Structure formats: structure tokens, C-alpha cells
Amino acid sequence: MNPSAPRWHWRTLPRADALDPVPPTLAETDAQPWCNFVLWQPTRLPAGCTTATGTLRREAPPGRVDAAGRTPWSDANPAGYRTEISGGGRRLRLKQFLYDWAFPAADHPCLWGSDTRPAPLGEGRVVWLGTDYLGHPAASARMARTTVELSVLDGDFTDTELTDLYTALRPADPSAVPRILATPFAELSYWARHGAEPVSVPTGVFHVHRGGREAEGDWIPTAQLPAFLTTHGIPHRAGVFRAESAALFGDGAAGRALDVVYLSPAGGELRLTVQRTGAGRLTVPPEQDKHPATTEVHTLPAPPGDFARPVHLGHLSAEFGACDAIWQHPGGHTLRLLGSAGEGLGRDAFLTLVAGLDTALDLTGKELPA
């Protein structure tokens, strides 16, 4: 995130009933002004595939209308872009959107519950290969914060072909990338802006789900964020990551949780949750969720006058993450740190981030506002 770069402003429809009955066919360069995320464009197709057709679902305020392509499980109408690639009897589709009602589960929610395998894409990015909820061979990556999901609809594609397709994705409008990354999550997120009700979803290796009305956070105005973090003893940085948004979730001071969103210059993300110990959904030791993953227990270095504390760590890949850590702070809080996957965000680097945040936190005597 470059806070000095100009913010991104995108087009939206004024009402839900203004939605297109069928998402229109639109080239990526023409669709980018309608998207609250970086839109990626294929520059190389798998062998024998000659057609790539993209359609845009425009953003509109919440409301259920008879429009193809909108989500069936919510009244939300966020932006999304779908590309169908076909040829030689084979067909796949890409879906691109900002996953913005919770932290993306294990960094690839469409592959939840399946055995997944990572492949590096360069520039620190990683794609995950596995099986989606419909049983199709599938893949998923977060690229400059955009969730890019792939599903094989007909025929067979090798892992190499799918990885090559992701490697060859390029921003449809390169000038939009720094502006979107300079725009805080709280200003990009459809759910932060509209308060639409999402379904309950997993968020990581450990069993902590978010959804329903309790997922409607009170987001801190961007201009107030630095003072808010200082008041509540939350560090403004974690390594190369910079705090750029925060929200309070839940009812009542005792059960409220504070989420802080940290972003790296390349669009990698950390999500820190702070909750009063014994309240809310964070428990120690945590219960592992259903997604295949490795869980470990590590020990935080003990500062003078403190005691060594365990960190419960889960990850999909020791080399690439995605990581999930839960631990307790002497100030009477339980903490959770989630990280997006990527080169340089594996187990050891993530534990370093956990230790650095733990040292920088000043939570003693701090209460979250009601």
C-alpha cells in the first residue's frame, strides 16, 4: 500500500433493479472502471483454446432482483468478472472479485475441504490447485488482493497448463493497480460500505467462522485509524505490512473483537484479531477446522518479567503458508493472525511476524469500545 498514491474510484449502479438482466460481455479494459479490485487479463491460453469471453456483473446496492449472475445466498450485489476460456473440446472459467466479507478461508475458499497443492507464480504470488465444491478440478490465487478462481468445466487440463495460465495473467489496466492498493480495504469492501448480510464461512485452519449479522462490522473511518490504533495499543506496522483498516465486530464491549487489516506493498494481507480472553469465538487451544492442514505448537520468546507462551500455528505449506496463529497476550487478550499465502510468507517468516506483533502490542488495561 502506498498511502500517497491517489485512491481508486469505480462506477456502480444506483439501485438493485438497475442490474443487467444478463451480465454483459465486456473486455477487461472496459470492465476495470466498474470493479473495486484489480482485474486480471489472460495473455496466453492453454493449447487448443482459442476463445476467451468475459462478462461483468456490475455493483449495485443490496436487493434481491431477477438478474442472472448475482449471488443466490445474499441480498448483496457486489462486482464480479467471469471469463470463459474454451477450444478443442475443453472449457474452463475464471471468476475474479474482492473477497471482502471475511478473511478468505485458507486463502482459497473455493477449494475448502480438498487436498491442495501450491505452485509459485513469480513476484511472490502462489496459486493453489485442488477440487472445488462442485467436484471440478480447480485453482485459486490472490493477486494484488483480487481473488482469482478457476474451475474446469469440460475436458482435462494439466497442473502445468493451469499454472501457466495464472502466470500469464496481467493487469487489464496497470495504472489502476497502485490506486486500488492505495485504497483502504474499508473503502473497497462492499460489506463494509453496505452492511449486507453474508452467510457463515470458515476463515482459516482453525475453527473460527464468521457470518450473519455478527459479521456487520463497525469500520473505523480512515482518517481516524492512526489515533484509534495508538489508543488501543495496536502497532501500525508488522514487518513490511502497514495497518490500513480496522473494524469492531460483535455486540457489547466484553464480546467484541477488533480486526486490523495490514497490507504489504505487493498486496499481501495480514488480519489481526484482538479479543478479550474468555469472550467471543477465539479459544485456546483452538480446534482445527475441516480443511487439510498441518498444526504445530511453538513458544513465543519470553521478555523480561513475562512467561513463555504457546502459539498455536496452522499452515497449508511450510514454504508458502497460508498461516493461521492463535495465542494469548499477557494483557488479558486472545489474539489471532491470519496471513495470505505467498513466497516469503511461510511458517518461519509468519512466526517472526507473530513475535514482532506480540512484542509491539500494548494491551494491558485496554478495553475495546462498546
Q: Are 296 and 303 in contact (CB under 8 A)?
A: no
pLDDT at 155 over 70: yes
Residue-level pLDDT at 213: 59
Residue-level pLDDT at 306: 65
Angstrom distance (rounded) from CA 207 to CA 205 = 7
Residue-level pLDDT at 215: 57
CA torsion 155-290-353-311 (nearest 10°) is -160
**Mean predicted lDDT score pLDDT of the chain:** 91
Residue-level pLDDT at 210: 76
pTM, two decimals, is 0.94
Task: Name which CATH class applies to 16-180.
Answer: alpha beta
* Cell numbers standing for residue 72: 443466490
pLDDT at 198 over 80: no
Per-residue buried b or exposed e for 65-80, using 16+ beta carbons within 10 Å of the residue's own CB = eebebbbeebebbbbb
Burial of 307 (0-12, 13-18, 19+ CB in 10 A): exposed
Residue-level pLDDT at 250: 78
% residues pLDDT > 70 (the chain)? 94
Angstrom distance (rounded) from CA 149 to CA 166 = 10
Residue-level pLDDT at 214: 57
